[in-house]
Structure 1
């Protein structure tokens, strides 16, 4: 069983399903919700370093707090606690990096995020996480 689970959470219906599934199917796991503030590709050329973490502005932190409010309500409904974290960068890279940094056993991710960028079966972020993750990944549709 998974003791530590990472759930990338952006408030989308798929991310909400992923979080609910974790609370229902993994009752003893520690759950961390991760919100990634995406930095546009054209902006990355201005920065150097694979592990770059750009500071989160107050505006983005407030937005993330609003998103996590819903996630915390879901946790409360399931009588569970929820760790939350906000990072910046390319979502798939940061999700995989966070899984490594936090020594999680499992990533549970929604098939498509809030942006609606989709491929035939998976969203591009979910697909990239599946390909790059050092731990098992459960994709929720």
Structure 2
């Protein structure tokens, strides 16, 4: 079984990592740990001031993604040593890159944490989990934290 674990370093993706370690997976199962570096958007800037900020944001996002992937890999290797692990760090829109990686890698399952946004936040920010569930070429499991509250709101 090929499981694509999409993480972003949040407590919600840490719950998805924990979910991987809690289960018994079929023999020879593989987990690809994916984090998508999503820098601030690049806008047209004749003085190239924003371009420098975009470059810094991309650098920081790549570093964050590397740390998140390394932490997840160590946690899974320690708790589920029978799983074959690989990692991937991509750049771009998480909604698009997760689906593309699931297609490219022929994943059987995508596991992603849910931030638990309410309807207004989902409308304004979009939901990566929802977009992946709608467009992935395979089954998608959305893992919710047992303590799923965002800004004092209960999850929708």
TM-score using structure 1 length: 0.74
Find the aligned partners of 1:60 and 1:38 in 2 and give their Cα distance: 6
Structure 2 unpaired stretches of 5+: 45-57, 145-156
Change (3 A) 1:90 1:25: same
2:133 to 125, 130, 135: 130
Q: 2:42 is paired with a residue of what secondary structure?
A: helix
Does the alignment pair 1:78 with 2:79? yes
Question: How many residues are aligned here?
Answer: 123
Contact map agreement 2:66 2:89 (CA 8 A) in 1: no
**CA 89–44 in structure 1, closer or farther in 2 if over 3 Å, else same:** farther
Instruction: After superposition, give the CA deviation of every residue in 1:117-140 in whole Å (9 maximum; x if it has no partner).
Output: x23497711111111111110000
Q: Please, which of 88, 94, 99 is the counterpart of residue 96 of structure 1?
A: 99
Q: Which structure shows the bigger proportion of residues in helix conformation?
A: 2
CA-atom RMSD, angstroms? Answer: 2.6
Which residue of 24, 30, 46 maps to 2:22? 24
Kept in 1, the 8 Å contact 2:33–2:73? The answer is no
- 5 Å-filtered alignment, 1:41-80, equals 42-43=41-42, 60-80=61-81
Q: Specify every segment of 5 or more residues in structure 1 that has no aligned partner in the other structure, as ranges.
A: 46-56
Question: Which structure: larger Rg?
Answer: 2
